[in-house]
Structure 1
Amino acid sequence: MNSAKYVDELIVRLKEQVKNGEISLSEAIWRTALACVGFPYVFGAWGAECTVKERKYRLGLNPSHTTIQTKCKAWNNNNCTGCQWFPNGERTRCFDCRGFDDWLFKQYGYDLEGEGATSQWNSKNNWCRKGNVRDGVPQGVVVCLFYENDSGKMAHTGIYFNGQTCECSNGVQHNTKLASKWTKYAVPACFADLMGSLTTEPQKEPEKGKTTVYKTIRKGNMGELVKNLQTMLSKLGYDLGICGIDGDFGIATQNAVKEFQRTHKDENGKALVVDGVVGEKTWKALEKAVAEIGSAPPVVYYSVTISHLTEKESDAIIKEYKNATRTVEKG
């Protein structure tokens, strides 16, 4: 488990990378969330360091939440040595589900209004898009998830990024799949300028008589659509790095896309923009390039052995046929 100090130093580095355009804001928020995995759940906490003093303060405000005390081994003696949330003698941070989401965004200058999950969800200033999880969750940005109970209240919240989730429930947890408990999603207002490029499901083959809809994807996206892209790039001979076709649009895939864009043109004969982003023009150029490979006649090689040639004669044959080879027999 990391310490609060480690996470704080990581945030400084991630902010600089966002500023320099090396990573997106969503990538920075997501990496920060993952760095907090294992940090403790304390009802009402919004990212303060986990200490006995902080726990006693929170219990005083919320006396019915007795786990604030029962989960703390140092409650009586104020000695955190040996506690899982005091790794190598360094503090961690504590959150509840609502506090975790808010703290993450605040590290990068954005505030999610509301004292609880329900008020957070109801605040119009927080979001630029809302929807039902069953209809598809936007890819490419960090999205807040909510569980709506039978009474219509939001009983839990967490974050989602390209198929994976992170939440503070009995501690900060990372899940590689979207659990069925989540019912609602909301895209934070800080991502409003990206709304036009967000996708919610993989690109599918069009039905007969219908036009293909080309969805834009970029570094940070994950899923079947990225696998489709990687498969096409692989067929064309581009290097996808050690991970290969894994459905994760990382730096190797981005570099492969840029390399393809440098040497190909759109359907109007104009050079593609070399930005590593796969939009309609790049999709069409990829499809054309792959189709041309499929339509090219196969290369057939024949093996013919000609013995008792002089060196001069064999040199002439090798010069004429570039795939010819020479074997010198001893004896």
Structure 2
Amino acid sequence: MHHPRRAARLLAGMAVAALTVTACGGGGGGAGGGEGSLAAIDLSGASFTVGSKEFTEQIVLGQIAVQALEATGADAGNLVTITGSTNVRTALTAGEIDMYWEYTGTGWTTHFQHEPQSAPDGDAALYQAVAEEDRNNGIAWLAPAPLDNTYAVATAEGRDQELGVRTLSEYAALVNRDPAQARMCAAAEFLTRDDGWPGLEQAYGFDLPADGIAELELSLIPQQTATGENCNFGEVTATDGAVAANNLVLLEDDKQFFVPYNAAMTVRQEVLDANPRLAEVFDPIAAKLTTELVRGLNERVDVGGELPEDVAEQFLQENGFIG
């Protein structure tokens, strides 16, 4: 049943110490607002540190979390943005942050070091598995969102027909037949993750020469893939707002290699024990976060040039969470 695509994350910095702080901004309806469903949840006096990874979707989700907490009367300060999945996870387990949105597929493959092919079949089963395993680490997974930000390989609309590549199996055949035409743009983290490029090559039976890969910042890949100057194919995610804007199409993951990447708020258990109403804050928010909706939020930032905190505030207002 599960739908392949992916969760983007670049591994561009090694030290958790190298944190960058993103201003919270947006003013999303503080404790005294008295409007919206979050105003009914009183967390005044509580203080939280929210983290995120460094790409657009994570910053938007992080801003949603910060503003939601502020709407309950809690002090959420500034969003702490950290480069790389492993680094933000380390910040959580070390107590440097209290919570951040993580993806089930990343939990399974990156944090717990399981093979992608061994993942339980289906979104719900994978969520249950990672939530259960993480209890041993003192980390709680709140309710998952429908959002599945799974990995994908994209190419320009029309080029898929020209090259006869509409599936990843057909891409593998192209690599083996004409590797120059199969040139791939990808970000550093994808190129090293077992649930990324190395696993993909193994699952589909191809080996693209190193000079056939252009390593780029994730945000640059859609445009480079669209032009075809640097690469005919590119790593993207199912929720990348720049995919449609650049007239890209996603290749079908016909062997269903990519595992689901449903987003869920991960919280240190001791923080949740002290503030059990955090589930009341985030579970209804998660329920609204579909793949299509989040793709639209990302597009407003990456293509429309809006600020993540403004997009987050409008999401909370439009869904009745804040006034």
Fold match, TM over 0.5? no
Higher helix residue share:
2
TM-score w.r.t. structure 2 length? 0.22
TM-score w.r.t. structure 1 length? 0.22
Larger Rg: 1
